[in-house]
Amino acid sequence: MTAELFIQYIFAGITYGAIYAIVAIGFNIIYNTTGIINFAQGEFVMLGGMISISLLEYMALPLAIVAAVLITMVIGALIEVVFIRWLERPSVLRMIIITIGISILIREVALHIWGESVRSLPYFIGDEITSVAILGARISPQVFWVLGTCTVMVLLLGLFFQATSIGREMRACAANRTAAILCGIDTKNMVTFSFVLSAALGALAGCVMSPITYSQYNIGTGLAIKGFTVAILGGLGSSGGAIIAGLLLGIIEAFSVSVLPLSFQEAVSIAILLLILFIRPHGLFGSKDAAGLKDF
């Protein structure tokens, strides 16, 4: 493998890896406040991309993206209020099935609105063939948009959880729900916030990745599984772990193409998921004892 090709693969890997990390962080936010895995997480990414593409007819690109993110946030809030808020202590099995149902519903609605066609947003700068040369490899500027946006999102998220009162209340809710209620925190609202927040993250990721990866009504399931793989690999609930694990999975996946046919790419990342689940269900960085206490 030449050095150029190697760098090309690395960049492809970290681009996808950044997206997986964002999906994984979306999982973590909801998992931390509710203890459930939202199987519809990948649909937020799909909705962000699809809505912004549709809105592009009526407004400029930045506006369309902002509007798409806002609409997806509203959808995230609606999902929580309509389907989840009023259930009292639902079993894990019940929550899994409900969120799977929600993801099917969103996907089918998307299919009826947008059809099966593959769409994409235009490149933010230049077009498909614009590229920047790095050590001999040719990288699309959109890759930097993806990486930049993901970095900014992660930094802002960290700031949000550390510095704002809502962020601190959400962390309190994650640490100990009963204690948070006793401190006067409205934990139900925190759950809604967590859905809104992870919808926003997913939608924005869906917008910036759209020019490179394209958007279609059914991309959600694959993203959700890979995002989940990353969330587990990095230790469920840990954002820092998710970023490292995301980049790792993205790079492995990118290099798997040089060994196996492209059509097996998804099978590779899922096989990794199964291996992790079977060997280290607490993740690469998590503690086994802490994981044993969690109620999956």
Partner 1 sequence: MKKYLAFIPFFLFVVTVHLLTSWTDTLYYLTQMTMSAYYCLLIIGLCVVMGYAGQISLGHAGFFAIGGYISAALTTSNLIEYRDLPLVRLLDSMGMLMTGQDIYGDTLIVITPWMACLAAVILAILLAYLIGIPALKLKGHYLAMATLGFGIIIYRIVLATPYFGEADGIAEVPAFVLFGDISVSGDFSSRVSNYYIAWILLTLGMVLLINLIDSRVGRALRAIHGAEDAADSMGVDTTAYKLNVFVLSAVFAALAGVFMTHYNGSIGPSEAGVMKSVRYVAIVAVGGMAHLWGALIMGITLNFLSLRGVFGTYDDAVFGVILIFIMLFAPNGLLRINFRHVATQLLFFRRAGKKEA
* Footprint of partner 1 (CB under 8 A): 36-37, 39, 83, 86-94, 96-98, 100-105, 107-109, 112, 221, 225, 228, 232, 261, 263-264, 266-267, 270-271, 273-274, 277-278, 281, 295-296
- Cβ burial 93-104 (10 Å sphere, 16+ → b, else e): eebbebbeebbe
CB of residue 103 to partner 1, shortest distance in Å = 8
Instruction: Give residues with Cβ within 8 angstroms of 236, minimum separation 6.
Output: 27, 28, 31, 283, 286, 291, 294
CB of residue 254 to partner 1, shortest distance in Å = 17
- In terms of CB distance, is 61 or 96 closer to partner 1? 96
CB of residue 33 to partner 1, shortest distance in Å = 15
CB of residue 3 to partner 1, shortest distance in Å = 30
CB of residue 277 to partner 1, shortest distance in Å = 5
- In terms of CB distance, is 60 or 267 closer to partner 1? 267
What is the torsional sign of CA 223, 99, 201, 185? Answer: negative
- In terms of CB distance, is 179 or 274 closer to partner 1? 274
- In terms of CB distance, is 149 or 256 closer to partner 1? 256
- In terms of CB distance, is 5 or 109 closer to partner 1? 109
CB of residue 224 to partner 1, shortest distance in Å = 9
CB of residue 89 to partner 1, shortest distance in Å = 6
- In terms of CB distance, is 14 or 225 closer to partner 1? 225
- In terms of CB distance, is 183 or 296 closer to partner 1? 296
Residue 284 burial class via C-beta count within 10 angstroms: exposed 0-12, middle 13-18, buried 19 and up: middle
Smallest CA-to-CA distance from 48 within 72, 16, 75, 25 is with 72
